[in-house]
């Protein structure tokens, strides 16, 4: 065990601010960014820059969305070890998962903006996604109301204005889980881990994202069986193509009472008007 304390997710940092025509002493809550190193059965796998909060969820969720494990029980042991330079997440796996980890080992550090760094081939970057077959249906009002509820449940962002969130909303319980991180894909991995550890399935709900929808976000959503993605910002063109292939309903630019629907509109029960010319 390490005697090193866990790093803080938020730090109060002194500085100066130009206010009312003069420079004034100022303090700001800043989101921390920490190297988090994953190892499986003693072998280094990846280093991700992440917010040092909910790291057990991160360990489980990253392992799930990377296809290393198919359920949390494939992890025999999980150890979180703070060190002076960051945090080590040490996982010991059941034999089948250990073999997958060996095949998918990454060799490069991943910055917060990159969810595909260090993979070894173009084919791996464009790996086939599982088809999401769950067919829940939601009204446009449910979707926009779900997104509107999210801001109040983001304590790190309320302090720092600098982190992303991923959340799951269900018709029966509202928002059941939220995770935050400086990296959008880390936030989704943390959510995936929290859901898996809590025995919760995204199959009947809406996956809420406060970021743009890039390719790795669709890949991770498909890997956990999320049928609907709703995001504040726009998707990339490749993300739309992948969502179409994976059977995922992709709604984006969710602002106020409006949004744009890009793929599989059958899950959103709205009455369509004539096409825009």
Q: What DSSP letter does each residue of the chain carry, written as one string?
A: ---SPPPPSEEEEEEEEEETTEEEEEEEEEE--EEEEEEETTEEEEEEEE-SSSHHHHHHHHHHHTTS-SSGGGEEEEEEEEETTEEEEEEEE-HHHHHHHHHT---SEE-TT-SSTT-S-HHHHTPPPPP------B-HHHHHHHHHHHGGG-HHHHHHS--EEEEEEETTTEEEEEEEESSHHHHHHHHHHHHHHTT--GGGSEEEESS-B-HHHHHHHHHTT--EEEESSPBPHHHHHHHHHHT-EEEEEEETTEEEEEE-GGGB-----PPP-
Concerning whether 114 is annotated as a catalytic residue, the answer is yes
Among residues 80, 109, 112, 114, which one is catalytic? 114
Residues belonging to the active site: 114
């Amino acid at each position: 065990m390490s005697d090193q304390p866990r790093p803080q997710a938020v730090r109060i940092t002194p500085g100066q601010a130009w206010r009312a025509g003069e420079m004034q002493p100022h303090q700001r809550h800043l989101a921390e960014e920490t190297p988090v190193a994953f190892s499986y059965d003693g072998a280094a796998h990846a280093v991700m820059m992440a917010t040092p909060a909910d790291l057990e969820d991160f360990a489980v969720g990253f392992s799930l969305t990377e296809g290393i494990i198919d359920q949390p029980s494939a992890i025999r042991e999980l150890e979180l070890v703070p060190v002076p330079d960051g945090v080590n997440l040490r996982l010991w796996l059941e034999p089948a998962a250990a073999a997958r980890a060996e095949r998918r080992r990454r060799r490069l550090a991943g910055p917060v903006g990159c969810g595909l760094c260090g993979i070894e081939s173009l084919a791996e970057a464009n790996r086939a996604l599982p088809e999401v077959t769950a067919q829940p249906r939601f009204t446009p009002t449910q979707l926009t109301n779900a997104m509107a509820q999210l801001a109040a449940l983001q304590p790190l962002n309320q302090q720092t204005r600098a982190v992303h969130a991923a959340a799951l909303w269900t018709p029966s319980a509202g928002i059941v889980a939220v995770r935050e991180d400086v990296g959008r894909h880390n936030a989704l991995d943390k959510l995936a881990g929290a859901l898996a550890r809590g025995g919760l399935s995204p199959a009947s709900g809406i996956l809420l994202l406060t970021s743009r929808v890039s390719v790795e976000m669709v890949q991770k959503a498909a890997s956990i069986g999320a049928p609907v993605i709703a995001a504040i910002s726009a998707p990339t063109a490749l993300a739309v193509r992948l969502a179409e292939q994976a059977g995922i309903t992709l709604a984006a630019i969710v602002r106020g009472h409006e949004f744009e629907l890009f793929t599989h509109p059958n899950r959103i029960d709205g009455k369509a008007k004539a096409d825009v010319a």
